[in-house]
Amino acid sequence: MTNQYTLGMIGLGTMGRNLLLNMADNGFAVTGYDKDAKMLQKLEEDGKAHDLKGFASLEDFIQSLELPRRVMLLVPAGAIVDSVIQELVPLLDKGDMIIDSGNSHFTDTSRRATDLAEQGIHFFGMGISGGEEGARFGPSMMPGGDKAAYDAVKPILEAVSAKVKGDPCVAYIGPGASGHFVKMVHNGIEYAMMQILAETYGLLKTGLGYNNEEIYTTFNKWNDGRLKSFLLEVTKDVFKVKDEKSGGYLIDVIKDEAKSKGTGKWTSQVSMDLQLPIPTINEAVSSRDLSKYKQLRVALDAALPHTAEKIQNTAEFEAQLEQSLYFAMITCYAQGLHLLEAASAEFKYELNLKEISQIWRGGCIIRAELLQDIYQAYSQNPKLPHLYADAAIQGKLKEIVPGTRKVVVKAIENGFAIPALASAITYYDSFRTANSPLNLTQAQRDFFGAHTFERTDSEGIFHADWNSNNL
Question: Would you please indicate which residues are annotated as catalytic (active-site) residues?
Answer: 183, 190
User: Using CA atoms, how far apart are residues 357 and 360, in angstroms rounded to an integer?
Assistant: 5
Neighbours of 445 (CB within 10 A): 13
| CA atoms within 13 A of residue 271's CA, in its CB half-sphere | 26
